[in-house]
Amino acid sequence: MPEDNVFKAKRGLDESVVTTISQIKDEPKWMLDNRILAYKKFLDMKMPSWGADLSGIDFANIFYYVKASQKTEKSWDDVPADIKTTYDRLGIPEAEKEYLGGVKAQYESEVVYGSLMKKFSDQGIIFCGMDEALAKYPDLVQEYFGKLIPMGDNKFAALNTAVWSGGSFIYVPKNVKVDMPLQAYFRINSANMGQFERTLMIIDEGAFVHYVEGCTAPIYSTDSLHSAVVEIFVKKGGRCRYTTIQNWSTNVYNLVTKRAKVEEDGVMEWVDGNLGSKTTMKYPSVVLVGNRAHGEILSVAVAGKGQHQDAGGKCIHLAPNTTSRIISKSISMKGGRASYRGMIMMAPGAKNARSKVVCDALILDKKSRSDTYPVNKINESEVTLEHEATVSKIGEEQIFYLMSRGFTDHEAEAMIINGFIEPIVKELPMEYSVELNRLINLQMEGSVG
Amino acid sequence: MKNLIKYLVRRGESYVWDEVIVFDKNNLEGETEVRAVVEDGGSIKLKGKILIQKDAVGANAFLRFKVLLLGKTSRAQVDPELEILTNDVRASHAASVGQIDEEQLFYLMSRGINKKDSIKLIVEAFLS
C-alpha cells in the first residue's frame, strides 16, 4: 500500500517535534506547555523493568505524528477511497456503519471520519475526536485531562502526553443512557509509526455508555509502538463499559495505561481482549472512591509464537462497601507467554469492601509459558478478599471424548478453548464475539500435534 | 508432600513469609498451605511462588494462603505467584483474607461461651 500521507513528522523525538505537533493542531498554550513538560518527564523517567522485555523499542526510529488527510471528514462520502478500501478489507459491514451510529475511525493518527447521529447530539452527548474536543470544549478538556493519569504516572503515559494525537472524547450528560455501543476503529497503517491516541470519557450522574474499541493492523517488518492513555470519570450512579479487542500485528509493542475513577454507586466494567501485538503491557484499573462503587475487569489473553501478553487489572478500594471482580483467562501456545499481573488494594476505611479475583490459564504445548503475579494489599480489616488461579493443559479425556464423537483433534481443541473463554466472550457485542472466536481458531491452526 | 505453616501475629508484630517452591523432575507433587491469624495492630505479608521448570512433566502443585484478620487495624498482603514453563502440569493457588464468621461467633455465644473465649476457640480451630 502506498504511503500517501499528507503530513508526516520526522523520525525520532525531540522538543521541536512536540512543538510541531501542537502547532499543526493549533492547540491552546496550556496544552503545548503540558506536552513540553511531559516530554521532559519522559526523558527523565526510567523504562519499567518489572514486566515484559521492552529492550526492542527504539524511540529514535519512530514517527510520532502522521496525518492522513487534512481535515476531519463530515460524512462517509467524503472519506478518501483508499481509506474506505482498507476498512472494507477489515470486513466492517456497510450496514453496521450506519446502525452503529457514531463511528469514529482513527486512520494514521487522526480521526478522519466522524458522524454523530442527530439523536445523540439532541441528548447532549458529545462523541468526537480528542483534537476536536480540545478546540470545541477547551474548558471541559482542561478540567479532566491528565487528572486521573498524570504525565508522571509512568514513562509511557509521559510519552503519550507529549505526543498524543487522535483518540476519542465522550461526555454523557446526567441520566442519559446511550442505547447503542459507541465504536472506534483504530488502524496503524504506516510502517514504523507509533500511535499515541488519547481518550477521555466523562459519564455524568446516572448516565450509561458502552464504548467499543477494536484494533487491527497489517504486518510490517519493523517494530512499531502503540502507547495509548485512556481516562474515564464515572460520576455518582453512572455506569461505563469499555470493551477492547486488541489485535495489533505481531511486531507492535502495545503499552497502554487505562484507568477509571468511580464515584458513589457507580459501575465501571473493562472487557479486555488481547490477541495480537509482540508485547502487550496493559492493566485496566478501577479506582473506587465512592460508597458502594463497583469495578469489574474481564480479561482474555492469547499468546502465540513470539508473543508476550502481560495483562491483568487493578482495583483500588478507597471507600466503604465497594466491590470488585477480576476474571482473567489466558491461553499460551506455540512458545507464547501469557502473564496475569494484577493488584487489589483496600485502603484503611474501606469497610465491608469485597473483591474476588479468578485467573485461569491454559498452556497448549511444552514450549509455552504462563505466569500469575497478583498483589493483594489489605489495609482494612473488615473486608473480604478471595483470589484463585489455576494453570493446566487441555484435559486428554475431554479431547478423547470429543474425538470419539467424530470431531477432529483440531475441532475438539478449538471447542474446548471456545468454552474456556465463553464467560468473557458472551459479554462482547455479537460481532466481536464471532470475530474473537474466529481469530483464536485461526491462531490455533497447526498447533495440534 | 503436604506442608502446613501457621502464624499467630500478635499486636505490634509483623511477619513476612516469602518462598519460592520449585518443581522439577525430582519434585513433582506438592501442596503448601499458610494460615495466619493477625491480631489487632499486627501485620503479615505472604508472598509465595510456585515455579514449575521445563522438565517437571506431570507436576501437580498447590499453594494456599488463608488469613484471618482480628481487630480493626490488622493488615495483610497476600501475593501468590505462578511461573509455569511447561504444559503437562496442574498448578493452582488460592488466597483468602477475611474476618471471623459472625454466625460461628453467634453460635458459640448462644451456647453460653463469652465473646473472648468464643474468638479464642475459633482461632484455635483455624490454626489446627
ipTM here: 0.89
CB A186 within 8 A of CB A213: yes
Hey, are the CB atoms on B87 and A368 less than 8 Å from each other? yes
pLDDT of residue A193: 46
Hey, are the CB atoms on A373 and B67 less than 8 Å from each other? no
Q: To probe the interface with B, which of A381, A385, A398, A447 has the most B CB atoms within 10 Å?
A: A381
pTM: 0.87
Distance CA A295, CA A219 (A): 35
CB A155 within 8 A of CB A184: no
Of A283, A396, A264, nearest in space to A52 by CA: A283
CA distance B103 to chain A (A): 15
Q: Quick one: residue A276, left, alpha or beta (phi over 0 = left, psi -120 to 50 = alpha)? A: beta
pLDDT of residue B50: 95
Is A338 exposed, middle or buried, given 0-12, 13-18 or 19+ CB atoms closer than 10 A? buried
Q: What is the extent of the structural domain holding B68? A: 2-100
Regions of chain B with pLDDT less than 50: none
pLDDT of residue A280: 95
Hey, are the CB atoms on B86 and A363 less than 8 Å from each other? yes
CA distance B99 to chain A (A): 7
CB A158 within 8 A of CB A41: yes
Write out chain B residues lying below 8 Å of A378, CB-based: 67, 69, 75-78, 97
Q: Tell me the residues of chain A between 347 and 376 that have a Cβ less than 8 Å away from chain B.
A: 348, 361, 363-366, 368-376
CA distance A221 to chain B (A): 29
CA distance B113 to chain A (A): 23
Distance CA A167, CA A57 (A): 23
Hey, are the CB atoms on B80 and A361 less than 8 Å from each other? no
pLDDT of residue B4: 92
Could you give the number of structural domains in chain B? 1
Question: How many beta-carbon pairs below 8 A join chains A and B?
Answer: 106
pLDDT of residue A109: 42
Hey, are the CB atoms on B93 and A382 less than 8 Å from each other? no
pLDDT of residue A183: 74
Write out chain B residues lying below 8 Å of A388, CB-based: 92-95
Could you tell me if residue B127 is inside a domain? no
Hey, are the CB atoms on B87 and A371 less than 8 Å from each other? no
Residue A147 in 3-state DSSP?
Answer: coil
Hey, are the CB atoms on A365 and B87 less than 8 Å from each other? yes
CB atoms within 10 A of CB A174: 14
Could you tell me if residue B6 is inside a domain? yes
Whether residue A378 lies within 8 A of chain B, CB to CB, comes out as: yes
CA distance A294 to chain B (A): 19
Phi, psi for residue A91 in degrees, rounded to 5: 80, 30
Which chain A residue shows the shortest CA-CA distance from B84?
A370
Could you tell me if residue B90 is inside a domain? yes
Which chain A residue shows the shortest CA-CA distance from B99?
A382
Q: Each residue's pLDDT tens digit in chain A (449 positions)? A: 344 555 667 788 999 999 999 998 899 999 999 999 999 999 999 999 999 999 989 898 888 887 654 444 445 665 556 556 555 555 555 544 433 333 444 444 444 444 556 678 888 999 888 888 999 999 999 999 999 999 999 999 999 999 998 888 999 999 999 987 887 654 444 443 458 889 999 999 999 999 988 655 444 445 588 899 999 999 999 999 999 888 777 788 999 999 999 999 999 999 999 988 899 999 999 999 999 999 999 999 999 999 999 999 999 999 999 999 999 999 999 999 999 999 999 999 999 999 999 999 999 999 999 999 999 999 999 999 999 999 999 988 899 999 999 999 888 988 899 899 988 888 887 777 776 777 777 677 654 43
Write out chain B residues lying below 8 Å of A392, CB-based: 89-91
Whether residue A379 lies within 8 A of chain B, CB to CB, comes out as: yes
Which chain A residue shows the shortest CA-CA distance from B69?
A381
Write out chain B residues lying below 8 Å of A393, CB-based: 87-89
Could you tell me if residue B107 is inside a domain? no
Could you tell me if residue B50 is inside a domain? yes
For the record, the C-alpha cell of A302 comes out as 492469547
CA distance A413 to chain B (A): 15
Q: To probe the interface with B, which of A317, A332, A391 has the most B CB atoms within 10 Å?
A: A391
Chain centroid offset of residue A302 CA = 15
Write out chain A residues lying below 8 Å of B74, CB-based: 381
Whether residue A393 lies within 8 A of chain B, CB to CB, comes out as: yes
Which chain A residue shows the shortest CA-CA distance from B96?
A386
Could you tell me if residue B59 is inside a domain? yes
Q: Which of B75, B77, B90 sits opposite A392 (nearest CB)?
A: B90
pLDDT of residue A343: 97
Residue type, A362: L
Could you tell me if residue B119 is inside a domain? no
pLDDT of residue A219: 45
Q: Write a three-state SS string for A156-208.
A: HHHHHHHHCCCCEEEEECCCCECCCCEEEEEECCCCCECECCEEEEEECCCCE
Which chain A residue shows the shortest CA-CA distance from B38?
A381
Hey, are the CB atoms on B98 and A377 less than 8 Å from each other? no
pLDDT of residue A231: 98
Phi, psi for residue A380 in degrees, rounded to 5: -145, 135
Alpha helices in A66-129 (DSSP H): 81-90, 94-99, 118-122
Name the DSSP letter for residue A378: E
Residue type, B67: V
Could you tell me if residue B109 is inside a domain? no
For the record, the C-alpha cell of A296 comes out as 469489574
Residue with cell 474446548: A416
